[in-house]
Chain A
Amino acid sequence: GENVEQHPSTLSVQEGDSAVIKCTYSDSASNYFPWYKQELGKGPQLIIDIRSNVGEKKDQRIAVTLNKTAKHFSLHITETQPEDSAVYFCAASIDQAGTALIFGKGTTLSVSS
């Protein structure tokens, strides 16, 4: 089955800096790659996703890149703000019915002002 590795486990940046989180996956058939943000005491919430027919997707300060050949994808957050502090999870799955979403172990991002 699918296995997702995520790095780093913790990341500390200064407000205004960029943050990059990287994930690798094992199943070459995977074609759907979402990113979730989890704040303390709450369930994870989708922030951006990408499918394998595109290499990059951007939404304001957040971008995701995908390299299918190398089987890795990354989350980029620019101009970080204190409210970006949270745990971020990457995930991968095959986009077809009956296939579960498999998550990485998460990255705790701390943005200091």
Chain B
Amino acid sequence: GAGVSQSPSNKVTEKGKDVELRCDPISGHTALYWYRQSLGQGLEFLIYFQGNSAPDKSGLPSDRFSAERTGGSVSTLTIQRTQQEDSAVYLCASSSRQGSPLHFGNGTRLTVT
């Protein structure tokens, strides 16, 4: 079946511009995560959505970062006024319930010039 889909796969933007990254989770999965992976670094937790509960935003690095999940399905991660240090691979994952395996997309590689 279809896995987690992320778009675009690559994004190059100029410093100061806003970007939107999209994640389509596996149908029926109630949990959705965003992680950031910088070169040589691990998976940095950004934000977590679980069903209708308030999202856990504790990992967002600054107020330039925000995310929403509409209708309990598709999620959009928005980065405003991008900086060069925002360059990284942004990974989305979903799971059917707490404690179930996370299914990752292939990520969006963001490059800020």
Contact = CB atoms under 8 A, between A and B. Distances in A.
Interface of A: 1, 6, 32, 34, 36, 41-46, 49, 51, 89, 91, 95-106
B82 to A, nearest CB: 22
Interface residues of B, number: 25
B20 interface: no
The interface residues of chain A, by DSSP majority, are classed as: loop
B65 interface: no
Given A97-B98, A99-B98, A43 B91 contact: yes
Given A100-B59, A102-B45, A42 B106 contact: yes
B74 interface: no
B41 interface: yes
A100 B47 CA distance: 8
Contacts of A6: 42
Contacts of B35: 103
B102 interface: yes
A89 to B, nearest CB: 6
B91 to A, nearest CB: 6
B91 A100 contact: no
